[in-house]
Structure 1
Amino acid sequence: MRRFSKSSSNRLSPDSQRLVTLAQGLTLASSRLEERAWERSLDALIHKSLKGSHQETLDAALEHLFRSNLRAYDALLDTAEANSETCDIEHEGSHYQALLIALPILAWTRFSIASGPVPEETRRALAAHLHGHILAADTRVAIAPTLYAIDQLPRNHAETHTLAQRLAQAAIKGTQVKPPANPPETAPFLADTRYLLAAVAAPSGAALFAWQESLQAAGREQALEQWRAQATPNIASLLPGCGVELLLPEAYYVACREADKQIRPASIRAAVHFLTNTLGIEPSGLRAVIGSFSEEPVGGRVDEYRIGFTLRQNPEVVYGVVWPLYDQEDEDEEAITTFESLTTPEILDTDLRTPLEEIIALLRSCGVTHIKRHGERFPMEFCDDCGAPLYPDPDAELVHAEMPEDTPSSTGHFH
């Protein structure tokens, strides 16, 4: 769930106030007919804001509802996302509906994870695999010529709407899309997500995905299996020196959220692999120190866990991993966690584990047996110089993660 600054203004413009009113009306609807009436009005006003690039109108309404009515906040956020990733286009007398989709890639390495231009030949091959395994028969697709890092994706709903419109026009008309000029630099991580973005278009009312045509929800699993088998070689060529795992291409926001969750276990495995190979030790020679972090340490919810790695007999933190919490996971932290679940989380069904239990199980599966968890809640503190997160050491001090001085220079740039 999004967090807002406490210092923001509470004054709303007329359009922001109207968005608030419509979202509240939607949550109070007592029938589907009433819901759809509220949705049509909400869609029209959101579309007006997106078309005019008035992101501040949406942000003000969202912030107001976040503080006053979480049900209405969720309704407005869902509607804003839906409108920014979809569009209706008329071309040569025909009407099309289009959806912005993301093709998420989990990547891990001891070196660097690439981003940037994607050759046309690779995009053609991936488009063929999309048509063969993911998309419905009567669809058109355009893939953006860029492999995106997370900090290069559209920053808000208005930017997402603009990109969706450009790619949808390209899909329907069969034209090319220019890559973004001067994309932001990417921060180096051992494990990170990369994204290909595309628009899929179909005649209005027609199916967009193969599982819609077959009316089989289980078709998603088969489509993912085939997508991984066929598309992995093409995508691996974009990420030399990396291990990769492809996730299911889906609607933009859903796919990005799923990638955010799935990269977390890969980050822990990559960290242990990196440290053991770089420092020449066994996993049992590492210690993991886990801390709960919150934007409101007193009474607030847990926003993320941070795991600091030290050598078994040394208190200095040499590397750190952040495990953010999403959706209702912060609510799960209030559940009673038994001593047995923390000491032997492997015995639990993976669907029943809390995030903390999952972290401990992952560390143990990687061979890290010395694990310390601090019971206190820490503030979200970062390094004043470089902005890196600070991690808990064995004495519950928040410190910068620093590799030993004799670490090979080729890996020294990772925090």
Structure 2
Amino acid sequence: MDFAMDARTEELRERLLDFMDAHVYPAEAVAEEQRAELASPWDTPPVVEELKAEARRRGLWNLFLPDGEYGAGLTNLQYAPLAEITGRSPHLAPTALNCAAPDTGNMEVLAQFGTPEQRERWLEPLLAGEIRSAFAMTEPDVASSDATNIETRIERDGGEYVVTGRKWYISGAMNPDCRVFIVMGKTDPDGPDVRRQQSMLLVPRDTPGVEVRRAMRVYGYEDHSHGGHAEVVFDRARVPVANLVGEEGGGFAIAQARLGPGRIHHCMRLIGMAERAIELMCRRAVSRTAFGKPLAAQGQVHAWIADARVAVEQLRLLVLKTAWLMDTVGNRGAHTEIQAIKIATPRTVVDVIDRAVQLHGAGGVSQDFPLAELWAAARTLRLADGPDEVHQRSLARRELRRYA
């Protein structure tokens, strides 16, 4: 395993670091000011569109997509240090580069499983950053950590599918630019194989019977960066049979294909969030005095900073190993490592950010620093794409199988 950056990655990294310093970090406060003046809190601040235009001009666009026909053609290992940098400003940078969830996963699904017509109608405008999308899987009435529990029905009626169900925490659905949902539901609820009961369907947002009912908050935040998280009701919404993604009964397999890259992308960005927290922690430590000496001279602060550095270096190596395995043996071959990073990274980064909050005192929980919002985002990722316990269960069973 060689994790040294190649020439292309290093060149993109330098270009991205300059973009972050010159445009993204200064835009954080501007975006908040502009958002307060928008007609709707879900409208996109003008500065975001300016960032997107500048990112395209600099060749920093669709870096996440390994398919060279549609994206930058980077491997997971090449993309990892770039995604980490965007994680330092997770509410602006990924969107500016058109590398933000849930659009990234939806674009991957369309690129891999979509028909030519589906790609032309939905993938191309997503790649161009002209529209946004949402992925409708999680439901409020069942334990969605077990995807076989999903109750939303997708019933065939002649040349159409009829969708009935209720979803929530559907990221991106509040954004007025969200034009389409990829909906996971059951086409064969009584089928003998519980992993072949589900299918995925493209449902345009303006389809009659689709209601974006309300915004769902995350620890009190509305999370504008993804276009919000919404409760969405599908009341006998009808779409053409041609809107089926892949084949009937293939929804579970498509979901797994979608979530593998999504999980490692989250972990890459989480490391960047931790690096931002360490930077803020150190700046605070050298600028504040308590009990007659700088915080940087306090032994407890030394322990926090040292432990944070050790933890981040460990996580980065595990994420890079996982990226390398995904590139060399595929997502299935990297299954154990994907689960390991999904367990370890959010949990550890939450702790790093929490120490930074503690060091900032009241400022750490205020809107004057990004730490509280970073903490909420990192803590949420212990649930998103499968909670810790699901990955622990699967990973442990895989380990035990060798001794059975």
Give TM-score scaled by structure 2 length.
0.33
Q: Which has the higher strand share?
A: 1
* Structure holding more helix per residue: 2
TM-score scaled to structure 1, two decimals? 0.32
